[in-house]
Amino acid sequence: MFHATTILGYKADGKAVIGGDGQVSFGDTVLKGNATKIRTLGEGKVLAGFAGSTADAFNLFDMFETILVEKKGDLFKSVIGFSKMWRKDKHLRQLEAMMIVLNTEHIYILTGTGDVVEPEDGKIASIGSGGNYAISAARALDRHADLEPKDLVQKSLEIAGDICIYTNKNIKILEL
């Protein structure tokens, strides 16, 4: 597990939302509190967020977007192509980062070993040190509260920020 951040992806009601906190940690020191760890890709049709080494994550964003363009925006084909590339390249296998990518149809976790994981429920995924707190909150809110997807992500990340020392409440959110 990366002690770096919290990223939460959620899709429901024809919407896709990703959110992340802004804390960058180095060991037990906060280096920065307002980092942006989420972005849109594929001409604004895909959302992505990362946890782990910042430099590695930016490389992964760029490589994933290249594949997304090659696959004409097809997220499923892109994650499979990206996974194949990740597993075959000995340098990529050394990267210390994970990603969540989603659109209104699909949500995937791309692991540091090149695995592609589709969440069992098909709608909520989290990564990073506060990921378990955020996903627990999101699942509870999804079942027991009537919230808009963006509000659910916001509240879930706030709960993670209350619990995880590697997560702050400087939350950024993107929505499709």
Active site residues: 5
* 8 A C-beta contact, residue 12 and residue 154: no
Q: Which two tokens stand for residue 78?
A: 């892109």
User: Which of 12, 4, 2 lies closest to 150, judged by CA?
Assistant: 12
Q: Is 28 exposed, middle or buried (0-12, 13-18, 19+ CB in 10 A)?
A: exposed
Name the nearest CA neighbour of 103 among 83, 125, 127, 128. Answer: 125
Q: Closest Cα to residue 85, out of 57, 63, 107, 68?
A: 63
129: left (phi over 0), alpha (psi -120 to 50) or beta: alpha
